[in-house]
Amino acid sequence: MPVSFVSCDFGYRRGSPVFHGLDFVFPPGRTVLLGPNGAGKSTLLGLAASLFLPTAGSVSYRGLDPSRRRDRSGYRRLVGWMPQNIAPIPGLTVREQVSYAGWLKGLSRREAWRRAPAALEAVELSPLGDRRCSLLSGGQLRRVGLAQTLVHDAEVILLDEPTAGLDPRQRERFRQIVLGVGEHRHIIVSTHQTEDLTDLYSSVVVLDKGTVRYSGPTSGFLALSQRERPSVEDAYARLVTGET
Amino acid sequence: MPLTRWLRSSAALYALPLMGVYLMFPLTGELPNLDDNWPGATVLATAATVMAVTPVCAAVAAWEGTRLRQGGVFRATGVRSPITVLAWSAAPVAGAAVLGMVTAFAVVTAEMPGVPGGPDLLILATALLVMAAWTMAGMAAGRYLPPAVGIPLLLVGTWLWFAYPSALEPLWLRHLTGMNLAACCATGEVFDRRALAAQSLLAVSIAVAAYLGWASARRSATRTGAIVLVPALGLGLAAFTVRDLGPEAGRPRAGGLVCTVRQGIEVCVWRERRSRLAATAAIVAPAAKRISVAGGVAMPRRITEGAADGAGTWNVVAGRDSTSDDIVFSLVTGLLPAGPPRCAGTGSPAWDIAYVPVTVWLAERAGVSKNVLATKAGPEAVAVVKGVLALPQAQQRRWFRHNLAALRRCDLSPVGIPAS
């Protein structure tokens, strides 16, 4: 089972709690996380990535709880996280940056360097391996970010708004890549883009105001739409705003 | 990632030429003053490196910290500990610092042929600690400050910290920085360990505060308090440690003499000058005899570069570039009072009038050539003494003994010397 949340509380220092008593398990396979702005999607992924630790309750994967210091490294090795903004490390080439990310995730320098080409191959960036990251386009940088989660062979990959700001062609390319790398991994993608959702994801999670409104198969989600031709937008609107 | 690739991407590589060029300024400027002893050489090499290289290291480290922040490394949920990430990023900076230190020692070592011993490891370790602390401070600053602020702040701030305290009061301030240029050591001195302890204390406290800032951006009163208090405490303890030190950090050396006996006098020089012992003895033993006869003072039992009482033991300096005239002249000045007496309200007029002529007269009688005396004391003093030398021996001796007494007392006026 992918990442699970048990009685999880979390809030930022100066805000109201984002989650209170959250009990939830991400479905296996490829999951899309939907929700309006401020629903807590990035926070949920941040908790799953162990970027944040819950103030109460626990997050776990394969019995490893990142709140426990002894489990944290093991957990982080298994869970890869790509934030919304992928920033190049000044001075590093694409292969060097991916390799450095692998080293940060516990690979030896040599091993990270050896594995980087395969990760770049998976995201179709092999020809740009020796280019400075700072010279890449936004779409290419997102693929570098994805390669950084692949280089250490993460079992769970968390992608926070990976296609935000990309043009339609880049979005399509990124979706195809996600499809390719997600065969044997759990992939959780937070997004506002709902097109082709049914082709890409096996499960849908809808989050609103820190509460999971829906978690289940894509087909079940679409069934919430009461239109003649079920649409993601309609199902989403019914769950989040009660509109029809 | 291969090490070469990591080095290529580090700003330290590009800062190396700047470090190298700047290092040569303090180093070559102070080389002529280098005495023939390894503590002095170590102080010169380390102080020049601390002065020239550390600010660049701190600035480069600030850039490295910025670089990691810009690249999202602190939000990458990695498994490497903060100290490992820091060490890996600071390694090229540390490498550049070590290279600077090695270069400085290479230059200094070339000036030390045949001098026994080697670098003072405690002085060296302290300098490395100071450099490491400021590098860590740079890394931590880079994590939080924008590069346009952090890099110049570290570059200029650390430079000012190293350059200016030696010109400021209180005097103990200069012993905290780790930039010990001109603080020590002639061959007859050792570095006061209190200064090294103070510098280490402050460096460790800076490093601890920097690490606390580096390790986590999470704000907590305890962490913020520690980041402020640890260096403040370090500064306080360090200042307390060196509160009694004067402008320099050297103190008289206790051991390390080699001796020989010449004409019944034991002559001792520092062991670094062992090769010049026989020559020095051959110069000072007859000179002492001439001084004794001319001034009517008792012959010394011992002439030494170490501690001397001016009665049974006389002091001499046989430096690396000393000529025989220089050595005899040092024997003369070692025999005379080291400074004027403290005379209430009147200053020390006798000293101002008589010291130079008395020195010149005694040096002339000890065998120092007139040309050297004119160079050392000026032609006016030599002219005054010329008149004294024309007097009968007994009268010269009376002149000397009276004026020597005048140098030591407040109630006695010099004789036979026109006030200038």
Tokens 């004026």 — which residue?
B403
pLDDT greater than 70 at residue A14: no
**B257 beta partners:** B270
CB spacing of A106 vs B73 below 8 angstroms: no
Residue of A61, A77, A103, A142 to mutate, interface with B, max B Cβ within 10 Å? A103
Peptide linkage before B418 cis (omega within 30 of 0): no
**Facing A104 at nearest CB: one of B3, B9, B78:** B78
| pLDDT over 70 percentage in chain B | 98
Question: Please, is A116 exposed, middle or buried when counting C-beta atoms within 10 Å of its C-beta (0-12, 13-18, 19+)?
Answer: buried
The two tokens of residue B342 are 């403290």
pLDDT greater than 70 at residue B101: yes
Mean pLDDT in chain A? Answer: 88
Distance from CA of B125 to the nearest CA of A (A): 29
Q: Report the alpha-carbon distance of residue B179 to residue B127 in Å, rounded.
A: 8
The DSSP result for B364-375, as a single string, is HHHT--HHHHHH
Do residues B300 and B290 touch, judged by C-beta distance below 8 A? no
State the pLDDT at residue A58. Answer: 94
pLDDT greater than 50 at residue B160: yes
Do residues A163 and A142 touch, judged by C-beta distance below 8 A? yes
B31 and chain A: CB distance < 8 Å anywhere? Answer: no
Do residues B57 and B95 touch, judged by C-beta distance below 8 A? no
State the pLDDT at residue A73. Answer: 93
The two tokens of residue B339 are 């400074």
Average pLDDT over residues B272-280: 92
Q: Report the alpha-carbon distance of residue A146 to residue A140 in Å, rounded.
A: 10
**Distances in whole angstroms, Cα of residue B203 to Cα of each of B95, B132, B242:** 19, 8, 15
Q: Is A56 helix (H, G, I), strand (E, B) or coil?
A: strand
Tokens 């996380």 — which residue?
A33
Measured at the alpha carbon of residue B414, what is the angle toward residues B364 and B315, in degrees to the nearest 5?
Answer: 45
A105 and chain B: CB distance < 8 Å anywhere? Answer: yes
Model pLDDT for residues B30-45, shown as the tens digit of each residue? 888 888 899 999 999 9
Residue of B77, B88, B219 to mutate, interface with A, max A Cβ within 10 Å? B77
Of the two residues A193 and A69, the one the predictor is more confident about is A69
Give the global pTM: 0.87
State the pLDDT at residue B387. Answer: 82
**Distances in whole angstroms, Cα of residue A79 to Cα of each of B166, B278, B361:** 54, 77, 89
Model pLDDT for residues A72-114, shown as the tens digit of each residue? 999 999 999 999 888 899 999 999 999 999 999 999 999 999 9
In 3D space, the residue among A26, A32, A34, A30 whose CA is nearest the CA of residue A192 turns out to be A34
ipTM of model: 0.86
Tokens 């020559």 — which residue?
B279
Q: Report the alpha-carbon distance of residue B12 to residue B24 in Å, rounded.
A: 18
Question: Please, is B214 exposed, middle or buried when counting C-beta atoms within 10 Å of its C-beta (0-12, 13-18, 19+)?
Answer: buried
